[in-house]
Structure 1
């Protein structure tokens, strides 16, 4: 974690992000919540904010056109390019996740789908996602902050009409990540 981390500001920003997302889910036409269920929607469920799940990861760019085909929740496939390996320490062990970019989407956003020991119990059975942007080129960056408190369920957790990529085995963590979105009543 960086030395200039302001926990109070971080908590306020995280709560603001969650409030904004709840409002989007409750009111916007693009919400994954079916229109006939939005009036009853009273917000997503979250783990309590925990700065221990905000970690600095070293970036090891993958300098190739290495792609992976991910299965989806509706038995289709989506192709992604492997962009970087992210190495970080969590629960006193070194861990890695792979960051991807959509082959057809382009853009600077990195996509990190993952499963962990909460998957299917406290969190959605198909896994969760994180997305983030690196300032400048990924190949020029040394580190990035991974904030698992921003981990979210894909839209297919709320509506079967969506096709969501399933995290590949290389992004399965053998530790519970009790941060970010969780299932109601979990």
Structure 2
């Protein structure tokens, strides 16, 4: 009897896990689709027409749920203003909001998230968090200027960090843009083979 209950429990756990994976994959596919529409749409895209014409479809790494993980959300003790460097002489003012602690392949990693002090004045973005990062493949198969992830301030102390939903700054596609450069502390000493690839590498 106990063995039967154990087997049924394992089967139920497997079914639930499969359903969760299926939902996660669908969420990522929706994100990729939305990004492609955004870059091609005449009303939504901020790219000049000459660049939009070149981009038929953004290229992404195959979806890998290894890079969709749970991270510990740790609020920053001191909210210090940071003049983040950009791809131009402009400095973009951010406030460090929190740190994310997580593991990939058993390696403990940390990233800092911040808030744009101008953007949070808008109602739509008052709980918006910005995560710029680089990793071992930056400048190889992914854009050398780093990639970004957006997130909303969570209600709990854990969040889902999904590198499959990372995207490139507009600078990756050409044009005179001023894009935030990920700070040195947000370099990950691992390969993040997930999310969008470098446009110039294909």
2:79 is equivalent to residue 65 of structure 1 = yes
**How far off its partner does 1:82 sit?**
0.6
User: Which consecutive segments of 4 or more residues in structure 1 shift more than 4 A?
Assistant: none
**How far off its partner does 1:5 sit?**
6.5
User: Given the superposition, is the C-alpha separation of residues 4 and 96 from structure 1 closer, same or farther in structure 2, using an over 3 Å criterion?
Assistant: farther
**Aligned residue among 175, 178, 185 for 1:170:** 185
- What is the aligned residue count? 181
Higher relative contact order (CA 8 A, sep 6+): 1
Larger Rg: 2
Question: Contact 1:34 / 1:159 at 8 angstroms: preserved in 2?
Answer: no
2:122 is equivalent to residue 103 of structure 1 = no
Where do residues 46-125 of structure 1 align in structure 2 (5 Å cutoff)? 46-106=60-120, 107-125=126-144
State the superposition RMSD in angstroms. Answer: 1.9
User: Given the superposition, is the C-alpha separation of residues 35 and 97 from structure 1 closer, same or farther in structure 2, using an over 3 Å criterion?
Assistant: same
**How far off its partner does 1:66 sit?**
1.2
Distance in 2 separating the partners of 1:103 and 1:93: 32
Question: Contact 1:100 / 1:110 at 8 angstroms: preserved in 2?
Answer: yes
Q: Give 3-state SS (helix, strand or coil) of 2:43's partner.
A: coil
What TM-score comes out, normalization by structure 2 length?
0.82
**How far off its partner does 1:27 sit?**
1.9
User: Given the superposition, is the C-alpha separation of residues 37 and 76 from structure 1 closer, same or farther in structure 2, using an over 3 Å criterion?
Assistant: closer
User: Given the superposition, is the C-alpha separation of residues 13 and 36 from structure 1 closer, same or farther in structure 2, using an over 3 Å criterion?
Assistant: same
Q: Give 3-state SS (helix, strand or coil) of 1:59's partner.
A: strand
Question: Contact 1:78 / 1:165 at 8 angstroms: preserved in 2?
Answer: yes
Q: Which runs of 5+ in 1 are unaligned?
A: none
